[in-house]
């Protein structure tokens, strides 16, 4: 009987952990645009005029310029990089809210 309770307890713990992981992924995923179709023409224009010349039309990168697909940056980190630059990337401080956040969501979803 004791063995049954131990197995039952372990199953409950595993179920709770799976639930927590699912919730964290759901919450973090809600920060990103659902699809590229959800992106406004203004955000696409900002990307094409400021980012595409180095990172490519769809974030595929050029030569030594970074690929943006599957990047591990948060929305806030991307916004900081856009505003302040990083390594060879220049800063783009003129890109302001709410376009900045929408651009960061778009980049994180490439």
Secondary structure (3-state) at 89: strand
Residues 26 and 48 placed together within one structural domain of the fold: no
Residues 62 and 94 placed together within one structural domain of the fold: yes
Q: Per the structure, how many domains does the chain have?
A: 2
- Residue 38 · residue 44 · CB < 8 Å: no
Averaged pLDDT, groups of 10, the chain, 110 residues long: 77 73 56 61 94 90 83 92 93 95 91
Q: At 85, give phi and psi (nearest 5°).
A: 80, 170
How many Å apart are CA 39 and CA 65, to the nearest integer? 23
Query: Hey, CA dihedral for 90, 48, 33, 29, is it positive or negative?
Result: negative
Residues 45 and 65 placed together within one structural domain of the fold: yes
**Model-wide pTM > 0.75:** no
Structural domain harbouring 51: 36-108
């Amino acid at each position: 009987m004791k063995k049954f309770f131990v197995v039952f307890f372990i199953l409950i713990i595993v179920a709770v952990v799976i639930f927590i992981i699912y919730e964290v992924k759901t919450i973090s995923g809600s920060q990103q645009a659902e699809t590229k179709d959800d992106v406004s023409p203004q955000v696409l224009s900002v990307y094409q005029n400021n980012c595409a010349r180095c990172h490519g039309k769809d974030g595929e990168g050029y030569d030594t310029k970074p690929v943006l697909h599957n990047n591990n940056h948060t929305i806030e980190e991307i916004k900081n990089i856009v505003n302040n630059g990083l390594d060879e990337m220049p800063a783009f401080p003129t890109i302001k809210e709410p376009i900045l956040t929408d651009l960061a969501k778009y980049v994180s979803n490439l």
